Every structure is written in C-alpha cells, then in structure tokens.
A and B are shown apart, each in its own frame.
Chain A
Amino acid sequence: MNILVIGCDQVGASLVRDLERIGHDISIIEKDSEQLKRLDAFDDYTFSGNALVGDPTDPDVLRQGGIENCDAVAAVSEDDSLNLMAAQIAKSLFQREKVICRVSDPHLQVLYHKAYELDTICPTVLTEQAVFRSLAK
C-alpha cells in the first residue's frame, strides 16, 4: 500500500519504520524539519520513503506528498487540531477512504468519531486502559 503519514514525532517515526519493514511505500509530511531527523536515528533501519517538510493542512503540500495516489492516510502528529483538520481534508477534499487520526483529547475523539465519522485513535484512552488492565488483573 501507499501510505501517507502526517507528523514525525516518536509515534510517526516508529509507525513509518514499522510500515516500511512490512513492505509498504511511505510518504511523510512534517512541519518541522528537525523532527524528520528521527527517521535516521534508528539503529537497525534506514528510511527509504519520501519525506517532505511543509504544512500538512495545506492541500498543495498534501498533493506533493502524494495524497491523490495513496491508499491510506495516518494523521498522527502531537497536535490534535492539526490532525483533525488534515484528516478532514483527506476525507472530504481528496476522498480518501482510509484515514486514521490521532486525537489525544478523549472528548474530541468521541465527537469527531460520531459527528464527522473519522477513524480516531486516542492515546489517552489507550494508555488508561492498558494501565487499568495491568492493575486490575
């Protein structure tokens, strides 16, 4: 699959690594060029995809990142509103069907899942559940 990843913090960089390892073609867009250095910081892996510095909420930048030809988009930066805006652009402007969006605020996650039908993942909820499960057993 061609996958467009938005945001290259620890989540984005690890996601890119794992997806490339299993054979996907990755394009990544990140606002801050410093953050892209994470891709070169892994010991046992070399990034071979396409990395782009730019504003992921700008449709022209998304186009440069290959959004028109990608099979899936993952908006996983640390910024909730940036992810939500980029994900909505991917869905409504570029008609991408598979769009995953990281939303740290659990309230926002529920709202955007329900009202905007976005595929949202909430690290706050996931962490809480993991800790709860490990304590409750």
Chain B
Amino acid sequence: MKVCIAGGGRVGRYLAQSLLANRHEIVIIEPVESQCRMLADTLDIPVICGDSISMDTLRTADVASCDAFVAVTGSDEDNLVACQIAKREFGVDRTVARASNPKNRELLHTLGVDTVVCGTDNLSHILEREIETDTIRQLLSLGGGTASLNEILLPENFLYAGKAIMDIPIPGDTILISITRDTEFIIPHGSTILLPWDHILCLTRDDSLHELTEAWGLSDK
C-alpha cells in the first residue's frame, strides 16, 4: 500500500518507520527543511519539503497515487484541510487525521475525515486506566478507543457483596459478560449474586467504565 504522511514530526516519523517495517511505500510531507533532511537521511524514503495544505506540494508528493493519506501535524485545522484536499482533489480513498484536541475527534469525522485518531485522548485514557485502580484491567480496546473489554476484580470489601445484580447500580453502557469465581464460570443474570474476589468480564463505553468504578466504589482504595 502507498501511504502519504503529512507532518514529519515525532508522530509522523514513528508512523513511517512502522509502516516501512510492514513493507508499505511511504512519502512524507514536512515544511521544515532541516527536519526534511533528517528524515531523508534516516528513513531513506522520499520527503517532500512543503506545506501540507498546498495543492502544489500534494501534487509533487503524487498524493493521487496513494491508497491512504495520513495527516499528523500539530495543527488540527491543517490536518482537516490536508485530508479534505487529498480526498476531494486527489481522490484518495482513505484519509486519517490526528486530532490534538479531543473535542475535534468527532468534529473532523463529521467534516469528512474517514478516521480520526486522538493521541491526547488515547494516551489520557490509557493513563487514566493505569492510574485509576489495579482492580480493573483493560483487555481489549474497541470502537476506535471509545469502548473496552475489561476484567474487574471485586475487592474484599466490595460495596455490594452478596447482592443480586438487579439490585446493584450498573450505570450507562455496560454489559456484564461473565463471572469467574475460583474455578466456577458463571454467565450472569439479574438474580446472580456478586461476591468478593469475583473476576467480572464486562464491556463498557469509556465514560461508563468511569461511572461504574465510581458507583461500585472501586476507585477509592
């Protein structure tokens, strides 16, 4: 696959390296000349020195021949405009933009970018999960980082120990999938009772996971 990366900063460079390792063909667009030289020297790929929202630059990079266009500059506006040009003017099928501001994740998608990756958002989510509690372990990230499959270990002093699931608050978009109690494997129903040391597998949206942690008193240790 041929991929054009707009923005040769740290994100762009690491992305190029990992795509190259997977045998994709890469071209990078970067406005700062010294950075261009560094990229060309270290990566041995074509580097176009120019502005990623200039059509001439995109034409020089032969964006029309690319299967994907990835805009990872530090400016969300530039990333949006670069992706829009790549799509409308050069007919690139797949556009990906980095959003520094988490608020722009949905917005850029609404405005026509196929995939929006929010670094700050993902990172803060990961950090949040790591910091939050060691009773919750994220097993799988889903929905582009908006939801996850998690394992919760109910603590010794669990607030709702001995209560049936139907009598326990389960906030937001949360589904309890299974309970592992010692060697017993339980598919839960409303009448299933939760006990300390139960391992619960649950699917949640990220905001719901936070609410669940609060509601079940798992955050204050």
A-to-B contact residues, CB < 8 Å: 55, 57-60, 79-82, 84-85, 88-89, 92-93, 105, 107-108, 111, 115-116
A108/B85 contact (C-beta < 8 A), A57-B104, A81-B53, A89-B107 known? yes
Given A93-B110, A111-B85, does the pair A81, B55 have CB atoms closer than 8 Å? no
Please, which residue of chain A has its CB at the minimum distance from the CB of B76? A57
Question: Could you jot down 5 A-B contacts, CB within 8 Å?
Answer: A55-B101, A57-B107, A84-B84, A85-B111, A115-B84
Q: How far is the CA of A55 from the CA of B101 in the complex (A)?
A: 11
Partner pick for A88 among B54, B55, B85, B111, CB 8 A cutoff: B111
Q: Contact partner of B75 among A60, A81, A93, CB < 8 A?
A: A81
Cβ distance A95 to chain B, nearest Cβ, rounded Å: 13
Measured CB to CB, the closest approach of chain A to B121, in angstroms, equals: 15
Report the contact-size class of chain B (Cβ under 8 Å from the partner): 20 to 34
With A57-B76, A58-B103 known to touch, is A107 a contact of B84 (CB < 8 Å)?
A: no
Q: Which of A84, A92, A107 contacts B77 (CB 8 A)?
A: A84
Q: Specify which of B77, B78, B103 lies most central, judged by the most chain A CB atoms within 10 Å of its CB.
A: B77
Contact code string B45-69 (vs A, CB < 8 Å = 1, else 0): 0000000011110000000000000
Contact, CB under 8 Å: A92 / B110 = yes
Contact yes or no, A111 B55, CB < 8 A: yes
A108 and B81 contacting across the interface, CB-CB below 8 Å: yes
